[in-house]
Amino acid sequence: MRRVLPAACAALTLAACGGGSSAPSTPTQPTTPTATPLALTCPAPVALRTTTGQPVTLTYVTPQATGGTAPVSVSCTPASGSAVPVGSGSVSCTATDARAQTTSCSFGVTVAIAPTLSVERFLSLGDSFTFGTTSRVDRVIPGDTYTQKLEFLLRERYPDQPFTLTNAGVPGQFMDQIEDRYPAALRQSNAQVLILQGGANDLNTEGARSITDIVTRLERITRDAQGRRVSVILATLTPQRPGSTKGTTSPADIRTINARILDLCRRYQTGCADLYTAFGGEQSPLIGTDGLHPTPAGYDLIAETYFEVIRRLFERTAGVLPLS
C-alpha cells in the first residue's frame, strides 16, 4: 500500500519528514590559498667616506620581504650600525618565513679614504693681482678674486675639510710694502701655507733696475716663512701687453725676473706657480684691456694653477683598499 505523506512535508525531502533515508552529503572543504613565493629586495649599494682611514658607521634600511607565509623575519650581516673599515665588501641579508622557506639578497658597501690636504690655513700676500682687480667681466669659476675661486676649488675637491684662505692683497703696493706687511699678515692668519706674488708695480715704475730688489725681498720673505715652518708657493709674474695703458714693463724684463723667481723656487724647494707660462705670453687673451690685470677668466686660470700646485704638494693619497 502506498504511503501518503502529510501535506506539510510535500515541499520537503523524504528524509526530513521521516519518510525514509538518503545518502549523507559531503561537507565542502575550504580552499587553501596558494602562498606567494618569498622574495627579498636589497637596497642600492652604499658608498661611505672617511678622512682619517678609521672605520665608519654603516647604516641602512632593513630590506623588505614580500610573499611567503607570515611571520617573516629578516636578518643582515653586518648589521646596520656596525663599524666597517676602509675597503669594499657587501652586506648579506636572509628572509625566513613561518614554513622555514628562505631567500637572500646582498648589496655592496664601499668605504673610501676621501682626499684631504695636510694643511688647511692659507695666506695670499701680494698686490692688486691678489686683491682681485679686473678689467672686464668674463666669470666662470664662482668668485670675484682668485683667492675666492681657489677656495671654491678647494672646497669642491675636499668637501670634508674646513679651509681658511686669507686675502692680504693691497692694490698698488710695492715689494717693500708687501715685505713690511708680511709679519703681521702671517701672524693674524696663522697660515700653514704662504702664497706669495708681487713686483709688477716696482717693474712698471722703475724698470729693470728693480729686479734685484724684488727678488731679494721675495727671498727674505721665503726664508723667514720656511724658518717658521710655513710652506711657501712662489708665483711668476703674468704677462703684460706692450703699448697698453698699464702694461708698461718690457717683455724682456718680465722674462728676466720670472727666470729668477723660478730659480728661487728651485733653490728653496718651494711650490712654484708658473703663471707666465700658464697665460701663454704677452698676447694672452686672459690679460684685460688695461694690458696689466687679468680678466676674470684669467683669475680662473690663476686659481686653477695654484690649486694644482697645492694638490701636488699637500694632497694625501685617496683610495679604496680591500676589506680585511
Q: Can you list the alpha helix ranges (DSSP code H) found in the chain?
A: 128-131, 146-157, 175-189, 200-206, 211-227, 251-268, 275-279, 296-314
Give the model confidence (pLDDT) of 220-275 as tens digits: 999 999 999 999 999 999 999 888 889 888 999 999 999 999 999 999 999 999 99
Comparing 63-72, 111-120, 131-140, 300-309, which segment has the lowest mean pLDDT?
131-140
Give the model confidence (pLDDT) of 48-57 as tens digits: 999 888 899 9
**Structural domains of the chain, count:** 2
The pLDDT, as a whole number, for residue 260 is 98
Domain for residue 321, yes or no? no
Q: Do residues 87 and 208 share a domain?
A: no
Q: Do residues 100 and 141 share a domain?
A: no
Rounded to whole angstroms, the Cα distance separating 316 from 312 reads 9
Q: Do residues 125 and 254 share a domain?
A: yes
Of 67, 88, 113, which closes a domain? Answer: 113
CATH code of the domain in which 161 resides: 3.40.50.1110
Domain for residue 14, yes or no? no
Which pTM was predicted? Answer: 0.66
Give the model confidence (pLDDT) of 124-169 as tens digits: 888 888 887 765 545 578 888 999 999 999 999 999 899 999 999 9
Domain for residue 150, yes or no? yes
The pLDDT, as a whole number, for residue 130 is 86
Q: Do residues 266 and 137 share a domain?
A: yes
Range of the domain at 75: 39-113
The SS3 call for residue 91 is: strand
Q: Do residues 56 and 169 share a domain?
A: no
pLDDT at 15 over 90: no
When pLDDT is cut at 50, 70 and 90, the band that residue 323 belongs to is very low
Q: Do residues 183 and 242 share a domain?
A: yes
Cis peptide before 71 (omega within 30 of 0): yes
The pLDDT, as a whole number, for residue 144 is 87
When pLDDT is cut at 50, 70 and 90, the band that residue 316 belongs to is confident
Residue that the C-alpha cell 653586518 belongs to: 78
Report percent pLDDT > 70 for the chain: 85
Rounded to whole angstroms, the Cα distance separating 251 from 248 reads 9
Q: Do residues 227 and 284 share a domain?
A: yes
Rounded to whole angstroms, the Cα distance separating 295 from 301 reads 10
CATH code of the domain in which 85 resides: 2.60.40
Of 113, 138, 157, which closes a domain? Answer: 113
Contact between 89 and 294 under an 8 Å Cβ cutoff? The reply is no
Q: Do residues 135 and 279 share a domain?
A: yes
Q: Do residues 126 and 258 share a domain?
A: yes
**Residue of 92, 64, 65 lying closest to 79 (CA atoms):** 92
Domain for residue 15, yes or no? no
Of 68, 96, 113, which closes a domain? Answer: 113
Q: Do residues 165 and 302 share a domain?
A: yes
Rounded to whole angstroms, the Cα distance separating 80 from 91 reads 9
Q: Do residues 99 and 247 share a domain?
A: no
Q: How many helices (H) and strands (E) does the chain have?
A: 8, 13
Domain for residue 292, yes or no? yes
Q: Do residues 144 and 108 share a domain?
A: no
Domain for residue 20, yes or no? no
